[in-house]
């Protein structure tokens, strides 16, 4: 092989190596940038949702969920942030390979020297490890962002007010969405049993009824210290849908059960309850042309019964 041929061969090898490094760098940088944008978008959505949660007294019960929600969101954000930090370091290392090539351009008699520097740096930064580690870091980060996004979407579904018009919707779907949001808070004290029958749609505003169900679920959680059981049952009776929300908590005395729908009455310690949750829930059910009643026994549990009219009642 002549000196000219050797030079051409080395040049071609160097060119392919540089193109490969540039392609890898471009792909990983683009993925990293897209991932950062996704994370920023999710955080922005979360901030918007948080503002919606505190804008009215109707949503006060959702404030009780913030600790559980923050915990669920903090974990994926924490390891996503950590991954982004390491990805930034890895990309910086890869830049060093490109710098060696750029510093030796145009290639002439210094090809062998450049290749030795390239191989030495590649070994120094452990490029083989970076090539396998970067996709793993990106996958874990995307998974974390998706987890946060899912939590935010669940919050948006139950907090979106929409317009004031009544629409037909599934009460079972409404209950399931509220369970998704409440579960982060009540899962530590209760087991949730869903016994949902195939029911017809009801007419109303899902946003308002979400408030009712979340309030009842949170009250049930507070009534059960440990080993609590929350049973939610739906059934259809003639022209109505019946919803039962039952717990095995400490129950309510006969004296206090007559007061629970009174504004500002609360059995919780000062500062832990507004006394407006159940009165507001009662008003919402009445607005939906329904009824809400309660039965309870001390040290046995409490059961709320809600009756709502069907959107399309059967014709006798």
Please indicate, yes or no, whether residues 208 and 126 belong to a single structural domain of this protein.
Answer: no
| Mean predicted confidence (pLDDT) in 67-80 | 69
Residues 7 and 131 in one domain: yes
CA atoms of 260 and 120, how far apart (whole Å): 76
- SS3 sequence, 140-204? HHHHHHHHHHHHHHHHHHHHCCCCCCCEEECHHHHHHHHHHHHHHHHCCCEEEEEEECCCCCEEE
Q: Which of 21-25, 111-115, 246-250, 287-291 has the lowest mean pLDDT?
A: 21-25
Instruction: Specify whether 191 is located in the same domain as 65.
Output: no
Residues 10-19: tens digit of each pLDDT: 667 777 777 7
Of 116-125, 204-213, 298-307, the range with the lowest mean pLDDT is 116-125
Same domain, 12 and 136: yes
Residue 315 lies in a domain: no
Which residues fall within 8 angstroms of residue 213, CB to CB, at 6 or more apart? 174, 175, 178, 245
Output DSSP code: residue 290: -
User: How confident is the model over 124-156, as pLDDT tens digits?
Assistant: 878 788 888 888 888 888 878 877 776 676 666
Give domain status of residue 187, yes or no. yes
Winning range, highest mean pLDDT, from 141-150, 184-193, 239-248, 281-290: 239-248
Whole-prediction pTM value? Answer: 0.56
DSSP code for 272: S
The answer to whether 232 and 195 are in contact (CB under 8 A) is: yes
What is the span of the domain harbouring residue 253?
167-309
Residues 228 and 196 in one domain: yes
As a whole number of angstroms, the distance between CA 313 and CA 76 comes to: 46
- Model pLDDT for residues 210-241, shown as the tens digit of each residue: 888 988 988 888 888 778 889 999 999 889 99
Q: Is residue 31 part of a domain?
A: yes
Q: Is residue 22 part of a domain?
A: yes
Angle, vertex CA 103, rays to CA 84 and CA 23, nearest 5: 45
Residue of 82, 68, 77, 88 lying closest to 38 (CA atoms): 77
Q: How does 245-263 read in b/e, with b if 16+ C-beta sit within 10 Å?
A: bbbbbbbbeeeebeebbee
């Amino acid at each position: 092989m002549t000196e000219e041929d050797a030079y051409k061969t080395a040049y071609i090898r160097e060119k392919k190596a540089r193109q490969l490094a540039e392609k890898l760098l471009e792909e990983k940088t683009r993925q990293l940038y897209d991932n950062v944008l996704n994370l920023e978008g999710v955080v922005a959505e979360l901030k918007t949702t948080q503002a919606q949660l505190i804008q009215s007294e109707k949503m006060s019960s959702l404030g009780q969920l913030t600790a559980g929600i923050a915990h669920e969101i903090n974990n994926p954000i924490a390891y996503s942030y950590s991954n982004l930090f390491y990805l930034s370091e890895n990309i910086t290392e890869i830049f060093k390979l490109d710098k060696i090539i750029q510093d030796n351009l145009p290639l002439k008699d210094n090809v062998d020297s450049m290749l030795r520097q390239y191989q030495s740096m590649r070994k120094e930064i452990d490029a083989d490890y970076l090539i396998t580690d970067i996709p793993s870091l990106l996958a874990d980060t995307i998974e974390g962002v998706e987890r946060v996004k899912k939590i935010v979407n669940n919050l948006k579904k139950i907090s979106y007010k929409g317009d004031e018009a009544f629409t037909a919707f599934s009460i079972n779907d409404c209950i399931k969405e509220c369970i998704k949001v409440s579960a982060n808070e009540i899962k530590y004290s209760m087991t949730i049993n869903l016994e949902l029958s195939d029911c017809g749609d009801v007419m109303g505003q899902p946003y308002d009824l979400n408030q009712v169900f979340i309030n009842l679920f949170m009250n049930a959680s507070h009534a059960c210290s440990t080993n609590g059981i929350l049973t939610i049952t739906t059934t259809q009776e003639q022209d109505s849908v019946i919803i039962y929300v039952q717990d095995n908590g400490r129950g309510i005395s006969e004296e206090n059960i007559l007061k629970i729908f009174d504004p500002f009455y609360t059995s919780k310690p000062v500062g832990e309850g507004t006394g407006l949750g159940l009165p507001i829930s009662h008003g919402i059910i009445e607005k939906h042309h329904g009824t809400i009643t309660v039965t309870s026994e001390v040290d046995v549990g409490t059961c709320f019964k809600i009756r709502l009219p069907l959107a399309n009642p059967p014709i006798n």
